[in-house]
């Protein structure tokens, strides 16, 4: 299968206007913001993209808009997981037809999840499309724990080429998967970038995250790729307080959208209901953090 993915793949937020309708002008602007930051790929319709709050027509238009704006400059990954196999196949085929280079597939939520049912789900999707699959391993949201052994088993399916690991402790899990699956399963880290340095150190091919300062992670990845591990470590740990603040459970989306708004990437920080809003105290703490971390200085070193 064609596109080889690596590096920093920015997970896109879905911008909304003040009426909570998808703001497609801001979506195009956000794509350009990410590409200017140097990201190596773009991922859409993930948890950060509020995929569960989008209608079917909105999902299609978001995918079409992003693919059109990227215009082949970097790989596009589209989220296509669903509650049933036929629905996931429909989403996956549609993403392929709309021009996505790969699909990120979350497992279905089952009353009694079992590995054989999940294996068949991925196997059927892989046989229905001709683009690579990224297995989304995020047990908090989707309720299924992928063991390293099971991910190695999934890697035997032609087309299941990647996994995005968001199951703590992710660095340890990456090591176990690599020992079992070798190069048959390439691994992206996630977790908002919280463990990006450690994940890359353990052999992850990249990181998929919506961190609102993507150029920092791009610089970390480039330093690691060039063998400048200490430079990567220093840069990462200097910005880690902001990554940690941004990645707070429940509040992370509101914080990320607010930073993106402040950076001029989107017009509003609106999150669709039901949602946790940015409280005044958190907004004040964000002000202090952004003032303390001199991004221009960090990236010039």
- Percent of the chain residues topping a pLDDT of 90: 93
In this prediction, residue 84 has a pLDDT band, given cuts at 50, 70 and 90, of: very high
Q: What is the pLDDT of residues 4-56, one digit of tens each?
A: 899 999 999 999 999 999 999 999 999 999 999 999 999 999 999 999 999 99
Domain extents in the chain: 7-300
**Can you give the pLDDT at residue 300?**
66
Considering the domain 7-300, what is its CATH architecture? Alpha-Beta Barrel (3.20)
Are 268 and 23 contacting, i.e. CB atoms less than 8 angstroms apart?
A: yes
Alpha carbon 87 to chain centroid, angstroms: 21
**Can you give the pLDDT at residue 299?**
63
In this prediction, residue 171 has a pLDDT band, given cuts at 50, 70 and 90, of: very high
pLDDT over threshold 80, residue 3? no
In this prediction, residue 188 has a pLDDT band, given cuts at 50, 70 and 90, of: very high
Tell me how far apart the terminal alpha carbons of the chain are, to the nearest angstrom: 38
**Can you give the pLDDT at residue 18?**
97
**Can you give the pLDDT at residue 297?**
67
Average pLDDT, the chain: 95
């Amino acid at each position: 299968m064609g596109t080889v993915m690596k590096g920093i793949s920015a997970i896109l937020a879905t911008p909304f206007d003040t009426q909570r309708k998808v703001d497609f002008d801001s979506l195009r602007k956000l794509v350009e913001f990410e590409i200017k930051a140097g990201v190596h790929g773009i991922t859409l319709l993930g948890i950060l993209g509020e995929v569960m709050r989008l209608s079917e027509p909105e999902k299609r238009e978001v995918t079409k808009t992003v693919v059109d704006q990227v215009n082949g400059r970097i790989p596009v990954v589209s989220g296509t997981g669903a509650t049933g196999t036929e629905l996931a196949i429909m989403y996956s085929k549609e993403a392929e037809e709309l021009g996505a280079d790969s699909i990120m597939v979350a497992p279905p939520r089952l009353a009694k999840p079992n590995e054989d049912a999940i294996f068949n789900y991925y196997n059927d999707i892989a046989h229905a499309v001709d683009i690579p699959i990224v297995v989304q391993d995020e047990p908090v949201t989707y309720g299924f724990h992928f063991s390293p052994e099971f991910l190695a088993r999934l890697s035997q399916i032609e087309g299941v080429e990647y996994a995005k690991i968001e199951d703590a402790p992710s660095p340890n899990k990456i090591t176990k998967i690599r020992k079992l699956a070798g190069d048959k399963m390439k691994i992206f880290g996630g977790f908002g970038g919280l463990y990006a340095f450690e994940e890359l150190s353990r052999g992850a091919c990249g990181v998929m995250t919506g961190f609102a300062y993507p150029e920092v992670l791009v610089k970390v990845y480039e330093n690691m790729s060039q063998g400048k591990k200490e430079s990567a470590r220093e840069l990462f740990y200097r910005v880690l307080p902001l990554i940690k603040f941004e990645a707070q459970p429940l509040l992370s989306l509101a914080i990320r959208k607010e930073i993106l708004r402040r950076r001029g990437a989107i017009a509003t920080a609106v999150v669709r209901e039901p949602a946790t809003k940015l409280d005044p105290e958190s907004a004040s703490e964000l002000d202090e953090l952004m003032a303390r971390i001199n991004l221009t200085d960090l990236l010039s070193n």
